Structure 1
């Protein structure tokens, strides 16, 4: 009689952390293929566990507020209307003339392959007390977050996402501005705020249409935020309000503030403050989860982990993001 041993359910992070993924990283052995999210065959590459991708989402500032979609190929396309669907009014029994057809524009986020290549010594990997998966997740997330942060803000769209600051800008309002151009408001002084800086920030908020203000955020770097944190109202209250609970962002004029270090510092003509609903205004398209190859040969005695991820991004709705330009006009 043969005893039958039931296999435990492979239910995600617990198995990946303690079993097959850790074994693959430490030794290259793949004892249980089902513990991985995917496999690339004899090349030895595997899609790494979802919690590593979750770590990336937590440390990339623009990713945390943008619209992120998973795609099956690099050729993602999205159709948007430039003026909505035209409509009309009529009485109960009146004829209904034909309305004009909406205008459609195709959006194709530029993309490229993002990669990282962290290394660890084999002796470190052999150490059972070393949390190899947490180390690898942190290394990949930090490298990817730095590269993503720059691309989502100011990337030129060549083999990488096109950042929202790479779009053309204009002072015209939504009704007259060219599709794809972002509206800017002047700060009132070259390279700084005018004397009424807090009023300029209010103008920036109100320039965003009401439907987009629900879920909107400020985006700026730490040095610009330090300048704004000193602004006070006429009764002496600070415009900036610190977080009142763990996990809750600080607010400016009632809206969350996202620190993105790739936003420009204050300078003449700089676009150093953005305000908008990035969930509606910026699209990130990523194909598959992060894949990893283990290379113990190229850099002995170190083992390198070559991680790749195809990511694209661009502005999807130019009405949903507003900018402040630090100029007199």
Structure 2
């Protein structure tokens, strides 16, 4: 078959046309893929957010059910009842008649004549309950209430000797266990909620509940940040402000937390979370929980293990929390976001790791003058925190 230049030109022209058609078709295919990926991505994000809403709604409903089933507390002493009534009169009208004496009888503590009035003990404990509902750290950490300005605790660092002996053999002396004293770093927190005198005069206005809610909300925001990131200056020292080291529990100094590097700056994979779990001693895992912010939780929800199973699972049964690798998750927006060198995920038994110390005696100073026609309630309380077991929590650090 004879072939001439014309035939080659025709084939080349046909090839060019076919390639143009191919490019056009392929570009459309790629565009369709990207559009589909974008649509799926948006749908996934929306569903992810919906999962968070439903998860929180389930937890809220369970908490409300638990509160509704709680038996009523028995009535208090006469002095406590009188103190509560007098305090409400102080809140509404600014009347101080006999309040100082009732306060001393009810609380049996000394008072500062210029420091406002201590709220009745029942109200004080209600505020702490509200704080627990509001603050992620209070939900998972140990809490203790004291009546002194500070709090100290002895911890056993080990070192006591032991051994095997025969029935009639001598028992030589063993090493003495090493004890260390740790102290809570305290600070004074304040809130200054405002209400109009008109609302306070309204008999249907629940002044006690309003003050509780306003104070708890303000305190919870400040406390939550301090218990996690506080530098210890006029505030508690937070977990993430303690020293970190990659050394294991056997060789790491007491008071220093262990960090596990992800191996990638600013990112992590499912195996990093699994590694974090198994770096925590078995004895701590029974009470362990995860702590991370919402956006990091969004990322984790899309992760699968080597068998294709999702790491995060919803708590479908009543009373069963949603879980990550079988452990409960605590969302805390004060946690660092995913970024290079960030301690982006915490895992451990927070009740053993960190103790929140409340000094009983929230105080209120009523101020009807500074911001007329509003009445301010300058409310203060002392609160602290301390790391009690540095082996109980591990951090995933997003670095090489």
Instruction: Return the TM-score normalized by structure 1.
Output: 0.88
Q: Which residue of 1 aligns with 2:258?
A: 183
Residue correspondence of structure 1 range 180-329 to structure 2 within 5 A:
180-193=255-268, 197-245=269-317, 248-328=320-400
Q: Distance in 1 between matches of 2:376 and 2:226?
A: 25
- Is this contact kept in 2: 1:82–1:104, CA < 8 A? yes
- Is this contact kept in 1: 2:159–2:176, CA < 8 A? no
Q: Which residue of 2 aligns with 1:55?
A: 130
Deviations 1:267-289 (A, max 9, x none): 11000111111111101112113
SS at match of 1:264: coil
Q: Choose from 90, 107, 115 the match for 1:24.
A: 90
SS at match of 1:314: strand
SS at match of 1:25: helix
- Is this contact kept in 1: 2:190–2:378, CA < 8 A? yes
Q: Which residue of 2 aligns with 1:125?
A: 200
- Is this contact kept in 2: 1:278–1:320, CA < 8 A? yes
1:174 maps to 2:249: yes
Residue correspondence of structure 1 range 60-139 to structure 2 within 5 A:
60-83=135-158, 85-139=160-214
Q: Distance in 1 between matches of 2:112 and 2:226?
A: 31
| Higher-helix-fraction structure | 2
SS at match of 1:68: strand
Runs of 5+ in structure 2 lacking a partner? 1-74
SS at match of 1:64: helix
Alpha-carbon shift at residue 188 of structure 1 (Å): 2.1
Q: Runs of 4+ in structure 1 displaced over 6 angstroms?
A: none
SS at match of 1:313: strand
Q: Distance in 2 between matches of 1:46 and 1:279?
A: 29
- Is this contact kept in 1: 2:229–2:239, CA < 8 A? yes
> What's the RMSD between the two structures over aligned residues?
2.6
1:156 maps to 2:228: no
Alpha-carbon shift at residue 110 of structure 1 (Å): 1.0
Instruction: Return the TM-score normalized by structure 2.
Output: 0.73
Q: Which residue of 1 aligns with 2:216?
A: 141
Q: Distance in 2 between matches of 1:187 and 1:314?
A: 27
SS at match of 2:274: helix
- Is this contact kept in 2: 1:46–1:293, CA < 8 A? no
Deviates more, 1:120-129 or 1:140-149: 120-129
Alpha-carbon shift at residue 42 of structure 1 (Å): 5.8
Q: Distance in 2 between matches of 1:186 and 1:21?
A: 53
Considering Cα pairs closer than 8 Å and 6+ residues apart, tell me whether 1 or 2 has the greater RCO: 1
Alpha-carbon shift at residue 171 of structure 1 (Å): 0.7
Deviations 1:184-215 (A, max 9, x none): 1111211111xxx2221111111111111121
Alpha-carbon shift at residue 10 of structure 1 (Å): 4.6
User: Radius of gyration: which is bigger?
Assistant: 2
Q: Which residue of 2 aligns with 1:6?
A: none
SS at match of 1:298: coil
After superposition, the Cα gap between the structure-2 partners of 1:98 and 1:62, relative to the gap in structure 1 and judged at 3 Å, is same
